[in-house]
Amino acid sequence: MTATPDSDALEGPPAGVHSLWRLRHYLRPHRGALAVMLGTALAGVGVAIAIPLVTKALIDGPITERDLGPVLPLGLIALALGVLEAVLVFWRRWVQSSAVLAMETEMRRDLYAHLQVLPMGFHSQWQSGQLLSRATTDLSAIRRFAGFGLLFLVINILQVTLVTGVLLHMYWPLGLVVAAAAAPIVWLSTRFEKAYVVVSRRVQDEQGDLATLAEEGAVGIRVIKSFGRSEHVSRQYERAAQQLHETSMDKVRLSAKFWTFLEVIPNLAVVVVLLLGAIGVGTGRLTPGELVAFITLMLSLVWPVASLGFILAMAQEAMTAAARILEIFDTEPDIVSGAQVIERPRGHLRFEHVDFAFPDAPDEPVLRDVNLDLQPGETVALVGATGSGKTILTALVPRLYDVTGGRITIDGVDVRDLELGHLRTLVATAFEEPTLFSMSARENLTLGRADASDADIDEALDIAQAGFARDLPWGLETRIGEQGMALSGGQRQRLALARAVLAQPTVLVLDDTLSALDVHTEKLVEEALRRVLGSTTGLVVAHRASTVLLADKVALIEGGTITHVGGHSELLATVPAYRELLAAEADHEAAHEGARS
């Protein structure tokens, strides 16, 4: 994929609470679980406050008065409260895990589905690693915050507020000390949030860049090794990894400073409380039980306050992740499905004054006023120099892109008015660069027709001269590896051709599908394809004269427009540009064959 500039990655919508708020609908189906989580957490706060109060009653009552009778009941109450707190924690975590994992699964499903409907222009502009990091790292960051950070952000604030209120009620001078400690924490949190959101976004974007380099290194390993460029590619990866390391260290240093202050402030408050509390006991303003309860409650605030940095960091990462994911969700698909269905398709394909320009270059048309008529069952060979617009013309038929002017019709119906899934059952394409998936050969073959019988599969394999698939270690059930890298280029191309033939389309588009085949295999494939093309409308991008002979007529495309249409012999005799194009291609093939021999 084409890499986006680094600066582009930072120009998305700013991260903030609103980013997470826009994803709140994923939590709605789990409102019951959220209520249980909140209820058990609140009950846990109540229990945590009650235990020190029971301790106060134990010290100031039976222990001070040397009455051992109430000790056992009060001790059992404290024990029961501790067990209850443990049960509440277990219940909350069990419900929490189930809910947030389901939420993450739903988000991942929707994100993948949305990526499938986005236009080819989007996928050509975005790094695959950036998309991968959003579908994995960013979704996990949101899940962690939704399942842990959000809950404890609410609970910790509530706990600090309630405990501070209890402390003020018990002995207001010490309560004021605790309340005063909150002021620097709020100030530090505000400053931390502004700085952390920037560095967090940089880290997540650089993780995406690194994932892209790792993927390209794995997919292109044969090219890298064949050119002896392993060290060069490794240095690129190391530079990106080092940049990520430096940015991550900036993030760590920022977090460490913040967390250090959060640790220091409550500890200073504890020292002050101990000093003033001891004076209070000495002067009779506090009982020993109240001081113990006060210190116990005070210490119970250390974790909520100290964890605030961790939770705020998690919140910033989640907000940044949400903003990055929304960049994808906010991209509207420009290929919108129609509603029409052709009940009895015949395959009459027409290009009527077709223009096309890429969205990022609207003033540089690739195709201009293209007119071509393919009758049902007719095969047309599309011939032109490199860059003349052949491939983009074939991509317009299944609506991988949409025309920017004119229209394309099948049986008189504009392809933009057809239901998109229906259109893509009518049209099957085999590309010059075949894309195979990390699944079995059978699964790759039946990708366009899941209900194909074994007889249909065998026929398609025979037509494409792809019988080698039967001889794989586990036959058609053999997994062929990512991108089909376990196969040769010609094998991948033949398997992709078999997949297109198996779909039994009304219109078959072959984008220079035979380019990787040797002359002998190509001849066998062409002989078998003649039978298929006899009952299917075919649009064939051709470079070799032998491929052109498959067609009923030839369309010559020059500079983005079709200049001549006619039989092969007719164009060969009357159009010098056509003759020169085939002659140059023949010379190239001869040189290539000579080099191989």
Q: What is the pLDDT of residues 435-479, one digit of tens each?
A: 788 788 899 889 878 888 999 999 888 888 888 889 888 989 988
pLDDT digits (tens, 9 = 90+) for 286-312: 788 888 888 888 777 777 776 776 787
Cα–Cα dist 167/184, whole Å? 19
Strand partners, 354: 370
Q: Tell me the CATH architecture of domain 12-329.
A: Up-down Bundle (1.20)
Amino acid at 232: H
Q: Which of 104-113, 152-161, 205-214, 503-512 has the highest mean pLDDT?
A: 104-113
117-126 burial code (b ≥16 CB/10 A, e <16): ebbebbeeeb
First vs last Cα of the chain: how many Å apart? Answer: 34
Q: In this predicted model, what pLDDT tens digit does every residue of 526-563 receive, in sequence order? A: 777 777 777 789 898 887 777 788 888 999 999 899 99
For residue 485, pLDDT beyond 70 = no
Question: Are 145 and 18 a contacting pair, CB within 8 Å?
Answer: no
Give the mean pLDDT of the chain: 81
Q: For 212-251, give one letter per residue: b (16+ CB within 10 A) or e.
A: bbebbeeeeeeebeeeeeeeebeeeeeebeeebeebeeeb
Q: What confidence score (pLDDT) does residue 565 get?
A: 92
What pLDDT score does 227 carry? Answer: 63
CA distances, 413 to each of 52, 185, 231, 409, 586 (Å): 78, 66, 54, 5, 39
Is the pLDDT at 369 greater than 90? The verdict is yes
pTM: 0.68
Radius of gyration, alpha carbons of the chain: 35
Percentage of the chain exceeding pLDDT 90: 13
User: Checking DSSP bridges between strand 349-356 and strand 537-541, what pairing results, if any?
Assistant: unpaired
Please write the tens of the pLDDT for every residue from 381-433.
899 888 888 889 998 999 988 999 999 999 999 999 999 989 988 998 887 77
**To 10 degrees, the CA torsion angle through 78, 83, 87, 93?**
80
Predicted confidence at residue 488, as pLDDT, reads 78
Q: What is the mean pLDDT of residues 36-41?
A: 84
Q: How do residues 214-239 score in pLDDT, each as one tens digit? A: 777 766 665 676 667 778 788 888 88
Length of the chain: 597
Q: State how far the Cα of 578 lies from the Cα of 549, in Å rounded to an integer.
A: 14
DSSP-H helix ranges across 400-555: 420-426, 441-445, 454-463, 489-502, 519-533, 545-548
Cβ proximity of 209 and 129 under 8 Å: yes
The residue to which tokens 């991509």 are assigned: 395
- Say which CATH superfamily domain 349-435+507-596 falls into: P-loop containing nucleotide triphosphate hydrolases (3.40.50.300)
Distance CA 192, CA 22 (A): 23
Angstrom distance (rounded) from CA 572 to CA 405:
31
Residues 562, 389: Cα–Cα separation, whole Å: 10
The three-state secondary structure class of 228 is coil
Cβ contacts of residue 409 below 8 Å, gap of 6+? 348, 349, 350, 352, 415
State yes or no: pLDDT of 22 exceeds 70.
yes
- The yes-or-no answer to whether 12-329 and 349-435+507-596 have a common fold is no
pLDDT for position 515: 62
Q: Which two tokens stand for residue 9?
A: 């990655």
- pLDDT of 88 higher than 70: yes
* Run of H or E residues at 376: none
> What are the residue ranges spanned by the domains of the chain?
12-329, 349-435+507-596
Interatomic CA distance for residues 353 and 2, integer angstroms: 30
